[in-house]
Amino acid sequence: MYRKVDDRIVSILEEITDGQVVRDEDLMEPYSHDECALSEIWRLPEVVVKPTNAGQVLEVLKLAYEEEVPVTPRGGGTGLCGGCVPVHGGIVLSLENMNKILDIDTSNFVTVVEPGVTLMQLAPEARKEGLFFSPRPGDESASFGGIVATNAGGSRALGYGTTRDCTMALEVALPPPYGEIVHLGSRTVKNSSGYSLLHLMVGSEGTLGIVTKQIMRLDPLPVVTNTLIVPYGNLHDAIATVPDVLKRGFRPTALEFVQQDVVTVAEKKRERKSKFSGGQAYLMIEIDAGSEEELERTAEGIADVCEEHNCVDV
């Protein structure tokens, strides 16, 4: 059983975090849930702390261990699965105040960020250097701590990989009995020394430690992009197209399908027509290229494959 957070523990937390502690229930309500609509799983924490550096994170973990109080780390709260919900109450450790972009290395195509940095915060700074962070989990207010904790992928995973593929190195606060800051991985692409504890940490949902700094891979911005919306008479033909597109050597940035009944529901909900028409199933194929000519060649090649699989139009 866990212990309750009492006034003595709150006082120590205030000392550790220089007063960055929330205990008012109204102010803690946003920390009781993520974007999941199931209010049945929402739980109010007993206290919210907002550390500003790795040392404070570690001290909070040590205190919680000594007092047998549960800790739930929280990033941007944009998840849909309740991963940051404090189901046992206790302490919510929000990383929102650790929100600095520490470096954008244009020679090695990496960025060094704190876990509270959001996608929308990094994007314009990286764009100035002709770079971008490729995973697209669906919410630009997602934070890098949460992105790493969940191994977020998004629609671009086919072309660029998931967050795990883009994570070069991590600084992590390990809870007791270890109780220390560790550094995993490096800036180098080839790094085969020892066990890959870095990849163990990515996707661990905060259960193994709390990420306090990240070195993430960036990619060059594509010169041109385009999205093909290809209608099919049935779902089988649409799905059968996908392996042949890849076998022919094409590597779309994103490739997803949607059925007409889903389109109909979405159009009704949004009260407007979409670009989807003429089919019972659709492929959405996103293409990046270094030139208009390359984009046209790739689009034509993919269109040929779609026609071989009985698409309605392309």
Using DSSP's 3-state secondary structure scheme, residue 250 falls into: coil
Neighbouring CB atoms inside 10 A of 101's CB total 15
Do residues 220 and 109 lie in contact, with contact meaning Cβ atoms separated by under 8 Å?
yes
Task: Indicate the CATH number of 101-220 among 3.30.70.270, 3.90.550.10, 3.30.465.10, 3.40.630.30.
Answer: 3.30.465.10
Residues 6+ apart with CB under 8 A from 271: none
Where in the chain are the domains?
7-94, 101-220, 224-308
- For domain 224-308, the CATH architecture is 2-Layer Sandwich (3.30)
Q: How far apart are the C-alpha atoms of 314 and 305, rounded to whole Å? A: 10
Render each residue's pLDDT in the chain as its tens digit; 314 residues. Answer: 899 999 999 999 999 999 999 999 999 999 999 998 788 889 999 999 999 999 999 999 999 999 999 999 999 999 989 999 999 999 999 999 999 999 999 999 999 999 999 999 999 999 999 999 999 888 889 999 999 999 998 889 999 999 999 999 999 999 999 999 999 999 888 877 778 899 999 999 999 999 999 999 999 999 999 999 999 999 999 999 999 999 999 999 999 999 999 999 999 998 888 888 889 999 999 999 999 999 999 999 999 999 999 999 87
Sort strands 180-185 and 210-217 into parallel, antiparallel or unpaired: unpaired
Q: Is 281 exposed, middle or buried (0-12, 13-18, 19+ CB in 10 A)?
A: buried
Reported pTM: 0.91
